[in-house]
Structures are given as structure tokens and as C-alpha cells.
Amino acid sequence: MNFLAPIGRVFIGFLVATGRLVAFAALSVSHCLRPPFYGRSIGRQMIQIGYFSLPVVGLTAIFTGMVLALQSYTGFARLNAESAIATVVVLTMTRELGPVLAGLMVAGRVGAAIAAEIGTMRVTEQIDALATLSTDPYKYLIVPRLVAGVITLPILVLIADIIGVFGGYVVSVHSLEFNAANYLKLTWQFLEPLDVVTGLVKAAVFGFLVTLMGCYHGFHSRGGAQGVGAAATNAVVSSSVLILAANYMITAAFFGT
């Protein structure tokens, strides 16, 4: 039975890591609900996570909307259903591509930065210095980033939805020669509040996951510069995987039968 030992070690290691992550998340959320609150730190993190991520999220959204319109036209033209392009673009952007792509872009930009920043503080013993000065590291480092991620990512996704739909509109009207008034009419006709709400709920969850994984891997980094680099890499990979898994679960909860 010795050949089962490596499998057991991997499985036990996975359970240990999962338990450590769940405990870290529960402790972080509990600190989010109790004073004191560092409002200035939360505002600073909202600017870092939201405002400075807007260019990359906007560019991703507009090109995604444009490509989506072109690809939809290629498929629907074979079925003489070109009028469905507006519906496909707006529903796909608001339900799926807007939240997921914005979450992945923020994970690549912000998740790695958070892990590197907190990881550097860990290996240089700055976090221990905060505890020595009677400053709770969770309150000062973790809570502002979690709150900022949950607040700013839905705003980013809402902007990305608008930009993505605009990109599809530009391609459809100016390249595919659609009637502008009819395109906008079809866009508003088939868009429902639930579609937008679903995307915003996903965005809030993704913002929590991205900041949580960045804080978790940075907070537990070890081994100097190499450990900080590994923490940044693990933060991006783990948050991206969790975003895709959470996307399926939220979609199944809202639209599953």
C-alpha cells in the first residue's frame, strides 16, 4: 500500500491549505465587521484597485465587445438571424464576459501587487513591527483591501459592460451596416435588470476572492525575495481559478434549472 502514500500526502496537504485559507477568510471578514475602521486606507485602496485598473479593464471590454459582434455576425448570418447580434452582445457582456474578464484582469494586476506588497512586509518583519506597535495587521492591511475590492470591482464591471456594449454597437453600425436606432432598440428590449444584477453580484464575489488570495499568499509568504515572487504567482493563479469556479456556481444559482 506504499504507492498510496504520495496520494494521501497530497490530499492531506490540500485539506490543510484549505482549512488555513478558510480560517484566514473567516478572521478577515470578522475584522471587517468590527471597529476601528481605517477610512483613509480604504479610500487609498479603492483608488489603487479601481481607478488604476480602469484603463486595462476598459480596453479589454471594448475589444471583447467588438470581437463578439463580429463573431456573432459570422454565425448568425448563416441562419439569417443577424438581428440577434445586439441581444447576444449585451447579454454576454453583462452576464459573463464583463465580470469574468474584469475579474481576471484585476487579478493579474492587483492580486500580484497585493501579494508582493504584503509579502515584502512579511519577510522584512514590518508586519511584526505593526503588532509590536499595537496595530492589528488584519485591520490595517487586510480589511481595507477586502472592502475596496468588494466595492470597486462592481463599479469596474458596470463601466466595462457599458464600454463592451458600445464596442459591439460601433462594429455593428459602422462595419456591419446595422441601423443604429434598431440596434439600440433591440439592446434595451432584451436586457433585463436580473442580467445586470447577476454580473454585479459576480463582480463583488470576484473582488473579494482576488483581494483575499492576494492578502492570504502575501501574509503567509516566507523565504525572502523568492518567497515573495512565489506568493505573487500563487495569488494570480489561485484567484483566477476561484473566479472561474465561482462564476459557474453563481450562474447555476441564478439561471440553473
- What share of the chain has pLDDT > 90, as a percent? 37
**pLDDT over threshold 80, residue 78:** no
Q: How far is CA 104 from the centre of its chain?
A: 5
Q: Which residue has the cell 464583463?
A: 98
Q: What angle do CA 33, 199, 184 make, to 5 degrees?
A: 140
Q: What count of other Cβ atoms lies within 10 Å of the Cβ of residue 237?
A: 15
Domains of the chain, residue spans: 22-250
Q: Which residue has the cell 470581437?
A: 67
Which contiguous run of DSSP H or E holds residue 124? Answer: none
172, three cell numbers = 455593428
Q: What is the mean pLDDT of the chain?
A: 88
- pLDDT value, residue 100: 93
Average pLDDT of the segment spanning 234-240: 92
Q: Which residue would you say has higher pLDDT here, 45 or 255? A: 45
Q: Which residue has the cell 464576459?
A: 97
d(CA 150, CA 155): 9
Q: Exposure pattern of 111-122 as b/e (b: 16+ CB <10 Å)? A: bbbbbbbbbbbb
pLDDT band at 178 (very low <50, low <70, confident <90, very high): confident
d(CA 243, CA 241): 5
221, three cell numbers = 509568504
Average pLDDT of the segment spanning 159-184: 88
d(CA 132, CA 79): 69
- pLDDT value, residue 257: 58
Instruction: Give the least confident one: 60-69, 92-101, 181-190, 210-219.
Output: 181-190
Task: Note the pLDDT tens digit of each residue in 80-89.
Answer: 777 778 888 8
- pLDDT value, residue 203: 93
Inter-CA distances, 88 with 64, 85, 253, Å = 12, 5, 21
Task: Note the pLDDT tens digit of each residue in 185-219.
Answer: 888 888 888 889 999 999 999 999 999 999 999 88
Instruction: Tell me the Cα Rg of the chain.
Output: 21
d(CA 80, CA 122): 60
Average pLDDT of the segment spanning 103-115: 91
Q: Which residue would you say has higher pLDDT here, 18 or 3? A: 18
**pLDDT over threshold 80, residue 73:** yes
- What share of the chain has pLDDT > 70, as a percent? 99
**pLDDT over threshold 90, residue 221:** no
**Contacts (Cβ under 8 Å, ≥6 apart) of 105:** 53, 56, 57, 60
Axis crossing angle, helix 180-190 with helix 85-92, rounded to the nearest 10: 50
